[in-house]
Amino acid sequence: MNSRIQSSRIQPARRVAYDVISAVSTSDAYANLLLPVRIDRAKLSTGDAALATELTYGTLRMRGFYDRVISLTAGRPVEKIDGPVLDALRLGAHQLLSMRTADHAAVNESVELAREYGSRSASGFANGVLRTISRSTLEEWREAVVGEESDPDEKLALLYSHPAWIVRALRQGLDAEGRADELEALLAADNAAPKVNLVALPGLVDSGIAASLGEANRYSPVGHDLGGGDPSAITKRSHGTVRVQDEGSQLAALALSRARPIEADERWLDLCAGPGGKAALLAAEALAGGAELLANELVPARAELVRSALSAVSSDIEVAEFDGTEVGERHPAAFDRIMLDAPCTGLGALRRRPEARWRKSPRDVAELSALQASLFDAAVVALKPGGILAYVTCSPHTGETLGAVGAAASRWKGELEPLDTSAVLEAVAEHPLDLAGDPHTVQLWPHRHGTDAMFIALFQRTTAG
């Protein structure tokens, strides 16, 4: 923030939203980490916190669309507009086109933000741009944004505010299931605020707290939907035995823990455990079945998050900090079950981390694919004969999903058997899952399942190699 005197005419919720959007633009901040801190620091009421959240995430999700509208209105590329002014225009455009905010409030406070964080001369420019935007409806702007564009994926990229390469990747992922006609529904789901899901760690939640958790998740037998409000109150009261966790992540962990009955003294490994959500659920499942879990996380700060998550289960669970690609050398044929939640592009969680879509590129897929393959191979070496490996990514990009496991199956032909992952998940889920494609893999989708786009594939080691 600059040193200028803050205007009292800017509503606190809008100022918080602007500060977070600006930090995302200038410092590569993560909105999901920064926004709660800024809300707490500003001591916003529940209503203002909800407004700040909608302003922040809504603006970030539709940034590409709003940038095109701003460019058409201003008569110049957004790259030619000063950053602080552009962020104020984005925030104003979201209120004018996607919220029920009164035009005068959206325009006046956004102009004030442009003046305060940009310059006095910027206020006239911002006022002109926003008032022009306000004179047309959202549908009229959608037609103007598409213009003469004829490529169907480019059109969808403009309308649904996704980079075109991501649109093509999502189309390919759906097409692998014969469901390419669901693409627009998927893109729309990426731009909708997701429900807050809770996981109640099995066997550890106090009965009184369990009774207060409300509606059960549609699929996860240990999950609940938070009807509204701040989840931190219940997570603190439960001492971490109730946690915020997407239902897709819950299902990924349960696919491994419930793929077959647990035998006493099994050894489990969560190879890339940070930040610890799946590790906590696996630890609770292991404790109930008499198994032992080792969690590993290379990055020290993330390893601390894993320790914090696991403390709700037991203080005796070991958290190691080694390079996961070395696990086969360190622990050959040592584990009965391994969770490989591989580092990935995160394209499956764009609802929750909307700014990620503007930070990723196809080059990231190629770079991560090499790491995913190395981790997969190391995990296979660390499996006991008969052991089960769960390969999981929060991405529907086929290069990180079907392509990755197809290549791995070829490398380990005769030593690794793909399991019927669909059958395992259907047995775990409380209600039937609408799954498609290869039954050896499961791809969850925001538009179809209401989860992040988690990919899950189970394998069994057949020989010691």
Which residues are catalytic, by number? 394
Strands 267-270 and 335-341: parallel
Count other C-beta atoms under 10 Å from residue 180's C-beta: 13
Length of the chain as a residue count: 465
d(CA 345, CA 349): 9
**Is residue 298 helix, strand or coil?**
coil
Count other C-beta atoms under 10 Å from residue 411's C-beta: 13
Q: Is the torsion defined by CA of 35, 39, 40, 41 positive or negative?
A: positive
Q: Which residue has the tokens 């946690």?
A: 243
Q: Are 290 and 379 in contact (CB under 8 A)?
A: no
Name the residue among 98, 102, 101, 126 with its Cα closest to residue 112.
126
Q: How far is CA 379 from CA 326, 331, 340, 389, 391, in A?
A: 9, 9, 8, 8, 10
Beta bridge partners of 390: 339, 458
Torsion of CA 181, 187, 193, 199, to 10 degrees: 60
Contacts of 382 (CB under 8 A, 6+ apart): 269, 327, 328, 330, 331, 332, 333, 334, 335, 338
